[in-house]
A and B are shown apart, each in its own frame.
Chain A
């Protein structure tokens, strides 16, 4: 089962403070959407409103075409995977996973069989008799995922589900999340502040800031051609060059901000920067990171990521250009 979500001109105010301001978003059935933004941007509030834990002060939310106004979480076709897992410590894993089915009146034998299936789906087959405290953080998160998916929700909401895991485990769980989403076909709405995580799993990234949607689109587009300076900066490191103060790129006009990703500055890129002197250089494993100063504009200092094999030294001069770039309004 899967359904689309339609967020229509939703605002949420707490007293005078607006947490969300006139947010509209269409999520297609079966899509994996990531709400990405810094803490306090309203992404979790939006997720809570889709799940029914909070109600909009204006606008409406439709799931599968049905208006959700006033419908409590238990009656919505959504389930949530919480950051703190929120497993039931007094129940076995099988009973945890079968809880939602129990609430729906499914007979014990049937729901335990289903729980075993779901545990197998998340790679915990045969451990149904264990209890949550016997598991590691990553395993608990898998159980929480199995529990939320067991009731076959139309929309699965994930509230920073990988936030409490260490980096290595987080990367591994991202791959699994994506694979599981492909298998079950449920609409996933995932909240995170980690842009790498967002790019790794999303069909579409929705970048949020200060209660508004800044940008939305496939990861590649949002990363390479961001629509705002905030998005450009939030998605990764970026060199910002004000076109009003430099004469380096007369073909781009005299207004706006040129954004260059460090790795898109290469030897012989299409947008010519010209000879640049290397100010300092450091080896970062996957790439060589350097600060360079264009000889035609000595007041600029650009961060560039050169290929791992580059043999460069301080003071050396390289002829550089940009492969991808975008000019944004300041």
Chain B
């Protein structure tokens, strides 16, 4: 039985990680195609990626969109969660539902909706438009995480802060937000990874300056190359770093 469960574990991990593993291995392929057999290791594809202006520009665009849109989603999500957790309003259940609703809608629908709306408003597709789209998908996430993290513990600390003379703004910035530092970091890093990977919204809402997934897609149109594997590996590296950072600095510190 024990051997079987280990086997099951190994298979499960292989199923999850094999595609990524293959991608990373063939990014070092010393040949023209990222397919077996493996013809020896080289770093030249990474060199090409870093020398490719379009790719590095897309990389920076992606990072910028991810960080800015996540920060906006975090602030909005925090304010919404704080308001709904603290104040009894008529219809607050409905408001919570509406806030979380975008999570259940496919990114394609959100992207199409935004595209229509922006067209009507006369806004051209751009990184800003993509950023707005990413706020739409990440706001429910940030809201849900932070709403769940707010407890009576915070509530009484906020009450004490008010009692000691803090204005509402200082209650928020000096007490409520710092007390939620760990869930805020979790929400932010998750948002960054979602935004970083996101393709459909970015594809429909960008034109000249594009994000990395869109750039990779256009590379793929010209056929398979170890270069795309190298880009993919770099993207993967960034995501893994973000998740590890989250584990090490946020969740570990809690225990």
- The 8 A CB mask of B160-174 against A (1 = contact, 0 = none) is 111111110010001
Number of interchain pairs (Cβ within 8 Å)? 60
Give the contact-size bracket for chain A: 20 to 34
Identity of the chain A residue whose Cβ is nearest the Cβ of B157 in the assembled complex: A86
B153 contacts across to A, CB distance below 8 A = 84
Contact B160 A74 (CB under 8 A): no
> How far is B178's CA from A258's CA once the two chains are assembled, in angstroms?
59
Contact A88 B156 (CB under 8 A): no
- Residues on A facing B (Cβ under 8 Å): 51, 53, 72-75, 78-80, 82, 84, 86-90, 99-100, 103-104, 144, 147-148, 151
Q: Is B57 an interface residue (CB 8 A)?
A: no
Contact B163 A80 (CB under 8 A): yes
> How far is B164's CA from A45's CA once the two chains are assembled, in angstroms?
19
Q: Is B159 an interface residue (CB 8 A)?
A: yes
> Could you list 8 further interchain pairs (A-B, Cβ under 8 angstroms) beyond the known A73-B162, A84-B153, A151-B165?
A74-B163, A74-B166, A79-B163, A79-B164, A88-B160, A103-B165, A103-B167, A151-B164
Count the B residues whose beta carbon is within 8 Å of the partner chain — how many? 18
**A interface SS class:** mixed
Q: Is B179 an interface residue (CB 8 A)?
A: yes
Report the minimum CB–CB distance from B255 to chain A (whole Å).
13
B178 contacts across to A, CB distance below 8 A = 88, 90
Report the minimum CB–CB distance from B110 to chain A (whole Å).
36
A104 contacts across to B, CB distance below 8 A = 165
Q: Is B7 an interface residue (CB 8 A)?
A: no
If A74-B166, A88-B175 touch, does A99 touch B161 (CB 8 Å cutoff)? yes
Report the minimum CB–CB distance from A248 to chain B (whole Å).
53
Contact of A100 among B156, B164, B167, B181 (CB under 8 A): B164
Contact B156 A82 (CB under 8 A): yes
> How far is B161's CA from A86's CA once the two chains are assembled, in angstroms?
9
7 residue pairs, one from A and one from B, having the closest CB atoms? A100-B164, A103-B165, A86-B160, A86-B156, A90-B178, A74-B165, A73-B163
A100 contacts across to B, CB distance below 8 A = 164-165
Report the minimum CB–CB distance from A114 to chain B (whole Å).
13
If A99-B164, A103-B164, A103-B165 touch, does A86 touch B179 (CB 8 Å cutoff)? no
